[in-house]
Structure 1
Amino acid sequence: MATREINLELLLGKQVVDLTGKTIGRIEEVRAEKQGDEWVVQAYLIGTIGVLERLSAWNIAVGLLHLMGAHKIHGGYTIPWDKLDLTNPKKPHLLCSIDELKNFNNPQSQR
């Protein structure tokens, strides 16, 4: 399998578009796991919940939102590594429909 290196800090904040060209959100966080001496991207987090996870504030934010009456939280998507085209890192776009993405209904279950 061919590998490619991209500086992740250059991806953060980039808008992601779907197959129709509609913006679905910005890359806010990247999930990766260590494999040998390298880190391999598993998924990209899009939207406001990705920001909360990046800031490690997910548990606190969910607790506060539930106290204020929110029961269902939606604020982004998880994009598997192989469903995001980074041929042009300045303009990432989905390789699948938005319906195929996992909603952030419960990010804790996606880990």
Structure 2
Amino acid sequence: MATREIHLELLLGKQVLDSTGKSVGRIEEVRAQQRGEEWVIEEYLIGTTAVLERLSAWTIGLRILHLFGAHKIHGGYTISWEQLDLTDPEKPRLLCSLDDLKALDTSKK
């Protein structure tokens, strides 16, 4: 399999589109795991909760949102690396339906 390099910092903030071209959110965080000397992307996080995770501000961020009346917070989604088409890094696209994505859990933080 051919490997390809994409500068991760250029993906952050990019809008992810579904198969119909509708936006499902922006890439806010990336989870990777070290394998030997390389880092391998495992999943991408999109949505409000992903922003809080990126800023490491779960506890205080969720409390502030609750203070302003946001009692039911849609956390966003986790996209596994194989569910995202990065052929055009400027326009990342889902390779699955929105229903196939795992919702981020805001209650565990």
The TM-score, its normalising length taken from structure 2, stands at 0.87
**1:4 CA displacement:** 1.7
Which residue does the alignment assign to 2:99? Answer: 99
Distance 2:107 2:101 in 1: 13
Which residue does the alignment assign to 2:30? Answer: 30
For the 8 Å contact 2:19–2:94, the answer to whether it is kept is: yes
Distance 1:79 1:19 in 2: 14
For the 8 Å contact 2:32–2:41, the answer to whether it is kept is: yes
Distance 2:107 2:90 in 1: 26
Which residue does the alignment assign to 2:77? Answer: 77
Q: What is the SS of the residue equivalent to 1:41? A: strand
Distance 1:106 1:75 in 2: 6
Distance 2:66 2:85 in 1: 35
Identity percentage of aligned residues: 68
For the 8 Å contact 1:32–1:39, the answer to whether it is kept is: yes
Q: Work out whether 1:9 is the aligned partner of 2:9.
A: yes
Q: Which moved more, 1:18-27 or 1:62-71?
A: 62-71
- The number of residue pairs the alignment matches comes to 109
The TM-score, its normalising length taken from structure 1, stands at 0.85
Give RMSD over aligned pairs: 2.0
Q: What 5-or-longer segments of structure 1 have no aligned partner?
A: none
Which residue does the alignment assign to 1:18? Answer: 18
Q: What 5-or-longer segments of structure 2 have no aligned partner?
A: none
Q: What is the SS of the residue equivalent to 1:49? A: helix
**1:20 CA displacement:** 1.3
